Amino acid sequence: MPTARVGIVGGGPAGSFFATFLLALAETLGRRLTVEIHEARDFSSPAPRGCNTCGGIVSESLVQMLASEGIVLPPTMVQRGIEACVLHMDVGTMRIETPRMDWALATGPVHIGSLGGAHPVGLSMVGEAVVRAYRLEKLADEATGGIVADAATRERAGAGFAFRHLGPRRLEGFDRDEEVFALVRPRDDAASPGAARTTLRTGRRLAAAPALGYPMQGIPPRRDILATRDAPFAGLK
């Protein structure tokens, strides 16, 4: 199969993300593709030569979505985190704390597609794994940490992650106890980043696997994937 060439003008967020997702899609479809990004600025130089000097805020949900695609922002790129914002009004001032974000991971068969009438809008993920993940998410607190998982997810994660067993829990709406685990950290001897990018496509990377369920045109929905509360980009609540 011949190799197609794609030229992208502009290496900013839109151009860079398009190149990343286009290459991922080509890999999934088995297409040979070469992508060239044409950018006039030198991002290794200080402003204004290296950036547009516009600044901005990167939301936590975007950081998590990038991580699900194997794009991890190094700490050196972040100037500071936002702990809260303050709303000033003529009647007073109110401080709004940053909400705590919990992840819940469950494994099982799911269906992803457009549900509804003749002209459905959006995509939906349905299945027992989605319900289980929703119930698991309610168990997360300061004691468990921000990421909890069921036994099937713990088994599929393999040796790359360290878990803490929280014991059996009865999830709302289920008629039997579920063994629940808290994700502690990736193991120190886990695979290299390059290998992690490969295993991401097999549904074994906890943080990345939910995004694999997103059915792009020409790609059949995945089954037996890791599902979370907010499909298809899960774990963002």
Residue 225 clears pLDDT 50, i.e. is over it: no
Give residue 8's pLDDT band: very low, low, confident or very high (50, 70, 90): very high
Q: Look at residue 127 in the predicted model and tell me its pLDDT.
A: 78
Cβ–Cβ < 8 Å for 162, 184: yes
Average pLDDT, the chain: 70
Mean pLDDT, residues 134-148 taken together: 83
All structural domains of the chain, each given as residue ranges with its CATH number in brackets, are: 4-97 (no CATH), 103-227 (3.30.70.1230)
Kindly report, residue by residue over 182-217, the tens digit of the pLDDT.
988 766 544 434 333 323 233 322 333 333 333 333
Structure tokens at 57: 């805020």
Mean pLDDT, residues 10-27 taken together: 85
What is the share, in percent, of the chain residues with pLDDT greater than 90?
Answer: 8
Contacts of residue 1, defined as CB under 8 A and 6 or more positions apart, other chains included, come to 31, 32
Q: Look at residue 222 in the predicted model and tell me its pLDDT.
A: 37
Kindly report, residue by residue over 78-97, the tens digit of the pLDDT.
777 777 788 898 998 988 87
Report the SS3 class of residue 200. helix
Structure tokens at 200: 């991401």
Residue 164 clears pLDDT 50, i.e. is over it: yes
Give residue 237's pLDDT band: very low, low, confident or very high (50, 70, 90): very low
Q: Look at residue 220 in the predicted model and tell me its pLDDT.
A: 38
Q: Which of 12-21, 50-59, 152-161, 186-195 has the lowest mean pLDDT?
A: 186-195
Cβ–Cβ < 8 Å for 133, 104: yes
Give residue 167's pLDDT band: very low, low, confident or very high (50, 70, 90): very high
Cβ–Cβ < 8 Å for 206, 161: yes
Kindly report, residue by residue over 29-41, the tens digit of the pLDDT.
888 889 999 988 8
Q: How many CB atoms lie within 10 A of CB 40?
A: 8
CA distances (Å), origin 140, targets 25, 30, 108: 34, 39, 20
Q: Look at residue 56 in the predicted model and tell me its pLDDT.
A: 67
Burial class from Cβ neighbours inside 10 Å (0-12, 13-18, 19+) for residue 126 reads: middle
> Phi/psi at 215 (nearest 5 deg)?
-85, 100
Q: Which of 86-90, 106-110, 231-235 has the lowest mean pLDDT?
A: 231-235
Cβ–Cβ < 8 Å for 210, 227: yes
Residue 159 clears pLDDT 70, i.e. is over it: yes
